[in-house]
Amino acid sequence: MRRWLPGFVALSAIWGASFALIKVAVEAGVPPLWVALWRCLLGAAALWAVLLVRGEPVPRDRALWGHSAVVAVLLNSVPFTLFSFGETRVSSVLAGVMNATTPLFTLLFAVLTVREERRPGARRLTGLGLGFVGVLVVLGVWHGLGTGASAGALACLAAACCYGAGFAYLRRFLAGRPESVTTLSVLQITCAAAELALVAPLAAGLPRWPGAGAAVALLTLGALGTGVAYLLNLGLVRGAGTTVASAVTYVIPLWSTAFGAAFLAEPVGWNALAGGALVIAAVALTKPRPAPARAPKERQPVG
């Protein structure tokens, strides 16, 4: 069994549950910007605690902090806000499905920016196409979205596009750094929290108590869905590559559908099951094949 598979499954489950938690928060009246900010603040707190327990130093490299700030915009500040806004108008199941388009955007940006990903091959391209078909089946596009849901669905799609750009940027500028996964995660989520803290009070006003249920949802969303999940995410990027890491989003609709149906009573049709099967097949196709082992070079004679 691949060493990265347990992390892949755990990360997909955690992020699949995140959509139901976001839905609980926005339905309690928490503004999307504050959902994103609380998520990052609580996630940063959890990550700082891990960093302190491990006794790892905080880097002072300005370039590293700068790259972390860019990644925070692409993977946290903007998409967290967009998904939260989207879920004010669409279900958590639909948001999870739209999130599954991330590998399509990731491959596009990776081909343009990451040397190792510039030749994805016919098999992986077929997998991405099959995954997109699976998403459309889960979505039930033949029924239409309706005018009220269109803005929410487009917001979720734009968030997935941000994720695609963020995965490629992270792989190019941060995944090869000598710092630990914990350190890189701390810098990224801290930057995201700082970015959102500058905007949320001005654009959405001061926070208010949303009720116990929403508070628990935000706490879980931040500490687990952002704190622990980002340790798993960066570890997966390093261990399996950008496209495999982003393929987590293919499995997320299965989890988001299950959580939405079980805890929010959101409807699940036959198309969700059929599309889920296509998504699983797409994950297998998009997984890159291991590079063949090279024979050891003969030692050249000296002199």
Count other C-beta atoms under 10 Å from residue 269's C-beta.
13
Q: Is the pLDDT of residue 286 over 90?
A: no
- This prediction's pTM: 0.84
**Average confidence score pLDDT of the chain:** 84
DSSP 247: T
Compute the distance between CA of residue 103 and CA of residue 129 in angstroms, rounded to an integer. 10
Tell me 113's DSSP state.
Answer: H
* 124 and 243 Cβ atoms separated by less than 8 Å: yes
H-helix or E-strand spanning residue 202: helix 181-204
Cα first-last separation, the chain: 46
Question: Mean pLDDT throughout 144-173?
Answer: 81
- Please give the full DSSP string across 256-295, using - where no structure is assigned: HHHHHHHHH-----HHHHHHHHHHHHHHHHHSPPPPPPPP
pLDDT confidence tier of residue 145, bands split at 50, 70 and 90: low
- The backbone region for 208, taken as left when phi is positive above 0, alpha when psi lies in -120 to 50, beta otherwise, is beta
Of 148-157, 163-172, 240-249, the poorest mean pLDDT is in: 240-249
Give the pLDDT of residue 234.
75
Q: Is the pLDDT of residue 208 over 70?
A: yes
Which of these ranges, 122-131, 136-145, 225-234, has the smallest mean pLDDT? 136-145
How far, rounded to the nearest angstrom, does the alpha carbon of residue 83 sit from its chain's CA centroid?
11
Please give the Cα distance from 41 to 45 (Å, whole number).
6
Q: Given a cut of 80, is residue 224 above it in pLDDT?
A: yes
Report the alpha-carbon distance of residue 26 to residue 141 in Å, rounded: 25
Q: Is the pLDDT of residue 229 over 70?
A: yes
Q: Where are the domains of the chain?
A: 5-286
Asked whether the predicted pLDDT for residue 17 surpasses 60, the reply is yes
Contact (CB, 8 A) for 285 and 124:
yes
CA angle 136, 245, 86 (to 5 degrees): 45
In one-letter notation, the amino acid at residue 277 is A
Contact present, 120 and 107 (Cβ < 8 Å): yes
C-alpha count within 13 angstroms, C-beta hemisphere, residue 62? 0
d(CA 218, CA 211): 11
Using one digit for the tens of pLDDT, what is the confidence trace for 33-78? 999 999 999 999 999 999 999 999 999 999 999 999 999 999 999 9
Q: What is the pLDDT of residue 239?
A: 78
Q: What is the pLDDT of residue 84?
A: 97
Residue 210's identity, in one-letter code, is P
Closest CA to 189 of 38, 57, 81, 40: 40
Percent of all residues in the chain with a pLDDT value above 90, rounded to a whole number:
42
Q: What pLDDT, on the 0 to 100 scale, is given for residue 196?
A: 98
